[in-house]
Amino acid sequence: MSRYVLITSDQEFEKRVRQATAGLHGTFHAIAADYLPPGPDDLLQVLTGDPVEVILLGPGLPLDDSIRLASLFDLQYPEISMVLVTAAEQNIALPAMRAGIRDLLDPASDVDAIRKLLERASLAAAGRRRGLGNSVEGGPRSSRIIAVMSPKGGVGKTTIATNLAVGLGKEAPMGVVVVDLDLQFGDVASGLMLDPERTLADAVVGAAVQDIVVLKSYLTLHPSGIYALCAPLRPTDADQISGEQVGRLLSQLANEFRYVVVDSAPGLGEHVLATLEVASDAVWVCGMDIPSIRGLRTGLGILTELDLVPENRHVVLNFADRRTGLTLQDVEATIGCPVDVVLPRSRTLPFSTNKGVPLLQDCTRDPATKGLRQLVERFSANWEARPHKKLHRRAVVQ
């Protein structure tokens, strides 16, 4: 059960927070004060009961003291989400994030806005606790960079990438970021119904290159609990981004997130090759048509010669339909490897993309949902440990 703690001298704000937590699974404890204790232990020792997940600082507390205490919590208790309650002030966001503060909240926020922030902070705390537990039990947890690839366009890469990210986000809340590397005409933002303030063009230059805190501030949070780094708003910005910058960016994100899902551009351009150099997994997508299948075969052949095929391979056949005149055996014989996941032709899947709500977020019943979940399972923590698992199981086209 979650536990929320508020330190403030503002009784009106305390009342709104109490109302917000009433609809959440957890307990609420308010401390009426206009000052802060010297350190985390001085605060936690007076709190009994459920473990603390979220601490809100302010309003009515000195900002310098709040940032100091948050930095101590970040060092000693990183699993606790610290939220700073303060009116919009210049130059406060960056120092707050450097101190480990997970979010900023305006004191004038209504009950619904407070509830949403608390839900987000709880998800973040749960994800960090899970990550810390994995590190203790099994050593350092390695991140995975998953490149969703296709030599041909129009095969549903973005739809698969966004659904994969949302599905993985349920296993690792706040531990997934989806990166739109279709730099000229990327659709991750529209596929997730996001309106990003910053894009990938901002993330590969300036302070973000050296400071992960700045980079994370450029990410856009999705309601499902995943982050997105969307494509540049202007197609011409793609010319200013090099393959070296892309590789460095993905490595930075892999140091902070459990899963980095990359929606790549069609073809085998500079940015795609840079992604493959650092990727741990490649999800190869093709449609059930001859140009798409032959394109995948040619692309795999070229990358094999260049030694740029990631260690883990996952082949997805999209738009599967017996009425196309092709069989699954025809596809596998042409590309020279088994198909791992089949997504049948579906009316709901493109509708969900147009709506900006991935199928795995909406939980809509559809034949394609089963295939998408099978793809997500291939990246779960216990997948490799399954004794009965067949890595490339023969799929069936309905």
> Distance between CA 181 and CA 263 in Å, rounded?
6
| Mean per-residue pLDDT, 67-94 | 85
> What is the predicted pLDDT for the residue at 386?
62
Q: Is residue 78's pLDDT more than 70?
A: yes
The residue from 117, 136, 155 where one domain ends is 136
Residue 385 lies in a domain: no
As beta bridge partners, residue 317 has: 286, 342
Number of neighbouring beta carbons within 10 Å of residue 134: 15
- Average pLDDT score, the chain: 86
**Are residues 160 and 201 located together in one domain of the fold?**
yes
Q: What is the pLDDT of residues 156-182, one digit of tens each?
A: 999 999 999 999 998 887 789 999 999
In a domain, 395, yes or no: no
Specify the CATH number for the domain of residue 318: 3.40.50.300
How many percent of the chain have pLDDT more than 70? 90
- Rounded to whole angstroms, how far apart are CA atoms 167 and 354? 18
pLDDT tens digit sequence for 90-123: 678 778 878 888 888 999 999 999 988 888 888 7
The per-residue pLDDT for range 190-245, each reduced to its tens digit, is: 999 999 988 999 999 988 888 777 788 888 888 888 999 999 988 888 989 999 99
Helix axes 290-306, 328-335, angle to 10 degrees: 30
Same domain, 127 and 154: no
What per-residue string of b and e applies to 284-301 under the rule 16 or more CB within 10 Å gives b?
Answer: bbbbbbeebbebbbebbe
At 131 the pLDDT is 56
Question: What's the whole-model pTM score?
Answer: 0.69
More confident residue, 23 or 204: 204
Question: What is d(CA 43, CA 197) in angstroms, rounded to the nearest whole number?
Answer: 36
130 & 152 share domain: no
In angstroms, the first-to-last Cα distance of the chain is: 43
Cβ atoms of 218 and 224 within 8 Å: the answer is: no
pLDDT of residue 388: 46
Is 390 part of a structural domain of the chain? no
How many separate domains does the chain show? 2
Q: Residues 59, 10: contact at Cβ < 8 Å? A: yes
Residues 344-348: contacts with CB under 8 Å, at least 24 apart: 344/320, 344/368, 344/371, 344/397, 344/398, 345/319, 345/320, 345/321
Please indicate, yes or no, whether residues 292 and 357 belong to a single structural domain of this protein. yes
Whether residues 275 and 371 fall in one domain: yes
Which of 108, 136, 164 is the endpoint of a domain? 136
DSSP code of residue 194: -
259-264 β-sheet, strand order? 220-221, 227-229, 176-181, 259-264, 144-149, 281-287, 312-320, 341-344
Please determine, for residue 296, whether its predicted confidence score (pLDDT) is greater than 80: yes
CATH number for the domain including 51?
A: 3.40.50.2300
Res 129: pLDDT: 67
Same domain for 281 and 196?
yes
Q: Which residue has the higher pLDDT, 393 or 159?
A: 159
Q: Is 78 within the bounds of a domain?
A: yes
Give me the pLDDT at residue 273, please.
Answer: 94
**Are both 193 and 258 inside the same structural domain?**
yes
Phi, psi torsion values for 128, nearest 5 degrees: -70, -40
Q: What is the DSSP string of 305-316?
A: HHT---SEEEEE
Beta-carbon-side half-sphere exposure of residue 348 (alpha carbons within 13 Å)? 14
pLDDT at 126 over 80: no
Helix 157-171 × helix 367-377 angle, to 10°? 60
**Of 94-98, 130-134, 228-232, 372-376, minimum mean pLDDT range:** 130-134
Q: Does residue 324 lie in a domain region? A: yes
Q: Are 221 and 97 within one domain?
A: no
In the structure, what pLDDT confidence band is assigned to residue 135 with cuts at 50, 70 and 90? very low
pLDDT at 208: 85
Confidence of residue 23 (pLDDT cuts 50, 70, 90): confident
Assess whether 166 and 124 both reside in one domain.
Answer: no
- 201 and 264 part of one domain: yes
Which pLDDT tens digit goes with each residue over 31-68?
A: 999 999 999 998 888 887 778 889 999 899 999 999 99
Higher pLDDT, 266 or 311: 266
pLDDT of residue 374: 92
Do 313 and 166 lie in one domain? The reply is yes
Is residue 113 located within the same domain as residue 61?
yes
Which residue among 101, 136, 171 closes a domain?
136
Buried b or exposed e, range 91-100, using 16+ CB within 10 angstroms: ebeebbbebb
Q: Is the pLDDT of residue 141 over 60?
A: no
- Residue 54 · residue 83 · CB < 8 Å: yes
- The yes-or-no verdict on residue 151 having pLDDT over 70 is yes
Tokens 């394109």, residue located: 295
State how beta strands 227-229 and 220-221 pair: antiparallel
Do residues 54 and 5 make contact, with C-beta atoms less than 8 angstroms apart? Answer: yes
Question: Tell me, what's the pLDDT at 277?
Answer: 94
Kindly state whether residue 397 falls inside one of the protein's structural domains: no
Range of the domain at 47: 2-136
Buried b (16+ CB within 10 A) or exposed e, 46-72: eeeeeebbbbbbbbbbeeeebbebbbb
